[in-house]
Amino acid sequence: MRVLITGAGGFLGRTLATLLHRQGSKVAAVVRPGRVPDLPAGIEIHGVDVRDRNALTAVVRKHSPDVVVHLAALKNIRDSHTNEDAYRATNVDSTLHLIDALNPLASPVHVVYASTVAVYGPQPHPDENTPADPRNPYARTKLDAETALETAATTGRCRATVLRFANIAGGYGTIHDPNTNAIIPHVLASARTGEPVPIHGAGDSVRDYLHGHDAADAIITTLTPRHSFRRYNVDSGHGASITDAWHTSTTTQAP
């Protein structure tokens, strides 16, 4: 299977690319220009800005993939409030560019799109039938990209699977999450160093945390579609508050 991964330099992208390569897929990786991620030999790496329609199209046409896993995105909720144009360009426009690039290929290409449970807003325990209620530019742009893919799939321009992920954390081998704004990396750093975990607010917000390997497995499970379009929530089914995470760090500190 020929798989093209955008955002392959990120935490989930590197995990997925490594797993697929080990399983025998022919993997091409799209990463940010200037980034040189540590990926297995044999994976062809392209430094491409996904907002660049021509550059993205050239990579897609070169590899003629069976599946595109579209992970490239901006995803900091706080930052999205002051940089909405950048979030729209990266999260929505790149998806439209990708759809256009796939059109001339011989058969409808399957796009697996990494979305977010943030599209539901503050609604507790949403399922796939829960109405979307995005409350920030990040969530709105992810939902708009989903809608673009649904339209393309229902008109035969591609096939699409949208995976609405919970908060992805954890590690796989030497691959770890470098996002120091996220609570789990802070917890792991605290366990190593003894430094306190920063808690904003009361610390009682409950979130679902999904291991990165499980997220990659979910993507792999959906690579061969039996539908033109489908959405799935992908989470652990168990919530934890920031205070819970803090207590975990205080009881697992390295000696």
**Model confidence pLDDT, tens digit, residues 14-25:** 999 999 999 999
pLDDT value, residue 167: 84
Both 197 and 76 in a single domain?
no
Please give the structure tokens belonging to residue 147.
Answer: 């809608």
Which range of residues forms the domain containing residue 41?
2-169+210-237
**Model confidence pLDDT, tens digit, residues 106-163:** 689 999 999 999 999 998 889 999 999 999 999 999 999 999 999 999 999 999 999 9
The C-alpha atoms of residue 111 and residue 21 are separated, in whole angstroms, by 18
Please give the structure tokens belonging to residue 45.
Answer: 């790496």
Both 57 and 127 in a single domain?
yes
To 10 degrees, what angle do helices 183-193 and 242-251 make? 20
Please give the structure tokens belonging to residue 87.
Answer: 């979030």
Both 125 and 200 in a single domain?
no
The C-alpha atoms of residue 32 and residue 138 are separated, in whole angstroms, by 19
The predicted model gives 37-60 an average pLDDT of 95
**Model confidence pLDDT, tens digit, residues 62-106:** 999 999 999 999 999 999 999 999 999 999 999 999 999 998 876
Please give the structure tokens belonging to residue 84.
Answer: 């909405």
Please give the structure tokens belonging to residue 146.
Answer: 């989903």
Is residue 189 very low, low, confident or very high in pLDDT (cuts 50, 70, 90)? low
Which residue, 150, 145, 170, 147, is CA-closest to 160? Answer: 150
Average predicted confidence (pLDDT) for the chain: 86
CATH number, domain at 143? Answer: 3.40.50.720
pLDDT value, residue 252: 43
Both 231 and 247 in a single domain?
no
pLDDT value, residue 105: 79
pLDDT value, residue 196: 63
pLDDT value, residue 104: 80
Q: Among 25-39, 105-119, 192-206, 225-239, where is mean pLDDT lowest?
A: 192-206
Q: Write the DSSP assignment of 191-211 as a string of letters.
A: HHH-PPPP--TTS--EEEEEE
Both 151 and 110 in a single domain?
yes
What is the number of domains present in the chain? Answer: 2
Q: Note the pTM of the prediction, 2 decimals.
A: 0.86
